[in-house]
């Protein structure tokens, strides 16, 4: 049963790329199953820091194949840039190593323009998207009017359809948002060039995954974003437009659940969020600022400062349930070194319908389905734990962690009910406790 699924257990940016890069040494295929170039996966290897948005994080391992799966929306312009950057570092990104599912959908320049225009129109209710055209591209996919990567197999015909689609998008840009339009001919010419370049990489993605699984090879399914950005199970509408949970690996790549042997949820040792929307454990004080600076918490894709807060175990328990987590990977534990006291949220509390009773309602279940207003009324209940002052970046065994750090890790396992099998103690590939 050789499919391993790696998903984000929070709001994205948990360090999944790092975990995928680590696990990739034991697999034959790394397949990305959702999202687009809204994702930013930082991988540090051989002294180089690579920011990958579309190419799966396993690409640095020469002996495996990487697939951009059917569930992904592909911005060809970004993909070509990334391939060139990798090639310049001597990484093989030829068609035998990097494949694009013909069923993946294509992001057009006008999807990006529409994303920006819709955000402006939302005003104070803006989602804070990455403006990469993700929402409009998935909307066109669901409306069955989108172009798929497989259409690039015939570049001239593809270009014609691009021009036609851009004309339709232009009408929306102009009439609905009073925004600037793009030249259909110019976009078509650009996309014709991308099609010529990418056509050799097209593959029947689900057949490839199926064949490898049937042959007993190991497929690593790489998720982008995280649980609370999931279209169905996240903090809607402050979510992305794809399925970011373990189930998304099955639909986004096209294989059945019986092949899944491990589901790994990645979480930071604290919580971050980019963009708008609720965040119960957010720290708007100097502790939050300190975490942002020490942890380098600025968006990989947009450079925006990330909102930072304490670790929320209510969220992690929700992640364990929705994804069926077998394991947790805990990243950036070193960022907490030097904080005197740490807090973790164990539950949420709110006033009852009759506040005069003086009683409070308590839940340990993330209140996901009743909307933002309901979520806003819940306040976290914290447990305080001692911090540690020691630098832990050279620690390679859990037993060698300072006692307070061991307690912190142990408390997470206990509360979430899932073992932590990997702990990140620094940005380098080897700075991990396995």
Give the footprint of ligand IMP on this chain (CB under 6 A): 11-13, 38-40, 127-130, 132, 134-135, 224-225, 229, 238, 240-241, 274-275
Nearer to ligand IMP, 135 or 150 (CB): 135
List the structure tokens of 148: 């798929």
User: What is the three-state SS of 392-411?
Assistant: CCCCCCHHHCCHHHHHHHHH
Nearer to ligand IMP, 238 or 415 (CB): 238
β-strands 307-309, 271-273: how paired? Answer: antiparallel
* Shortest CB 51 distance to ligand IMP, Å: 11
Residue nearest to ligand IMP (CB): 275
* Shortest CB 424 distance to ligand IMP, Å: 17
41 a catalytic residue? yes
Nearer to ligand IMP, 109 or 130 (CB): 130
Which value, to the nearest 10 degrees, does the dihedral of the CA atoms of residues 114, 109, 248, 222 take? -140
* Shortest CB 235 distance to ligand IMP, Å: 9
Nearer to ligand IMP, 10 or 218 (CB): 10
Nearer to ligand IMP, 114 or 333 (CB): 114
**Annotated catalytic residue, options 41, 111, 201, 233:** 41
Distance CA 55, CA 86 (A): 10
* Shortest CB 358 distance to ligand IMP, Å: 37
β-strands 379-386, 341-351: how paired? Answer: antiparallel
Which value, to the nearest 10 degrees, does the dihedral of the CA atoms of residues 330, 335, 338, 343 take? -50
* Shortest CB 7 distance to ligand IMP, Å: 12
Report CA Rg, the chain: 22
The candidate with the shortest Cα–Cα distance to 407, out of 391, 432, 433, 384, is: 384
Edge to edge, the sheet with strand 3-8 lists 202-203, 98-101, 65-68, 29-32, 219-222, 3-8, 260-268, 327-331, 420-424, 432-433
Report the length, in residues, of the chain.
434
Nearer to ligand IMP, 206 or 235 (CB): 235
13 a catalytic residue? yes
Please report, for residues 288, 311, 336, the alpha-carbon distance to residue 199 in angstroms, rounded to integers and kept in the order given: 46, 44, 46
Provide CB contacts within 8 A for 315, sequence distance 6+.
Answer: 9, 10, 227, 228, 271, 366
Residues with catalytic function = 13, 41
């Amino acid at each position: 049963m050789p499919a391993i699924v790696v998903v984000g257990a929070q709001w994205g940016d948990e360090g999944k790329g790092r975990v995928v890069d680590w696990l990739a040494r034991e697999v034959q295929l790394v397949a990305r199953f959702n999202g687009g170039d809204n994702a930013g996966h930082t991988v540090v290897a051989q002294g180089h820091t690579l920011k990958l948005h579309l190419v799966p994080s396993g690409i640095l391992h020469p002996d495996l194949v990487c697939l951009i799966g059917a569930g992904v929306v592909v911005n060809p312009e970004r993909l070509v840039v990334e391939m060139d950057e990798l090639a310049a570092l001597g990484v093989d990104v030829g068609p035998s190593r990097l494949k694009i599912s013909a069923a993946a959908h294509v992001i057009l320049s006008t999807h990006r323009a529409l994303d920006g225009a819709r955000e402006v129109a939302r005003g104070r209710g803006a989602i804070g998207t990455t403006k990469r055209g993700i929402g409009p591209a998935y909307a066109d996919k669901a409306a069955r009017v989108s172009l798929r990567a497989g259409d690039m197999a015939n570049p001239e015909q593809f270009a014609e359809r691009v021009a036609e689609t851009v004309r339709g998008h232009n009408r929306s840009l102009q009439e609905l948002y009073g925004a600037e339009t793009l030249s259909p001919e110019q976009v078509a010419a650009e996309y014709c060039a991308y099609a010529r370049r990418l056509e050799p990489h097209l593959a029947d993605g689900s057949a490839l995954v199926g064949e490898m699984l049937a042959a007993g090879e190991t497929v690593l399914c790489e998720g982008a974003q995280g649980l609370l950005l999931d279209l169905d199970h996240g903090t809607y509408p402050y979510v992305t437009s794809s399925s970011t949970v373990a189930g998304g690996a099955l639909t986004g790549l096209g294989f059945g659940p019986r092949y899944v042997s491990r589901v790994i949820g990645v979480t930071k040792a604290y919580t971050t969020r980019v963009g708008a929307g609720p965040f119960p454990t957010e720290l708007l004080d100097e502790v939050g600022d300190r975490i942002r600076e020490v942890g380098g918490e600025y968006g990989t894709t947009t450079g925006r400062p990330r909102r930072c807060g304490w670790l929320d175990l209510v969220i992690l328990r929700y992640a364990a349930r929705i994804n069926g987590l077998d394991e947790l990977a805990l990243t950036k534990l070193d960022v907490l070194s030097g904080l005197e006291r740490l807090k973790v949220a164990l539950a949420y509390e709110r006033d009852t319908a009759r506040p005069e009773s003086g009683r409070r309602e308590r839940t340990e279940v993330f209140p996901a389905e009743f909307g933002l207003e309901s979520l806003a009324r819940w306040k976290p209940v914290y447990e305080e734990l001692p911090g540690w002052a020691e630098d832990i970046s050279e620690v390679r065994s859990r037993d060698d962690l300072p006692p307070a750090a061991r307690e912190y890790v142990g408390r997470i396992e206990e509360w979430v009910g899932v073992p932590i099998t990997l702990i990140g103690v620094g940005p380098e590939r080897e700075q991990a406790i396995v």
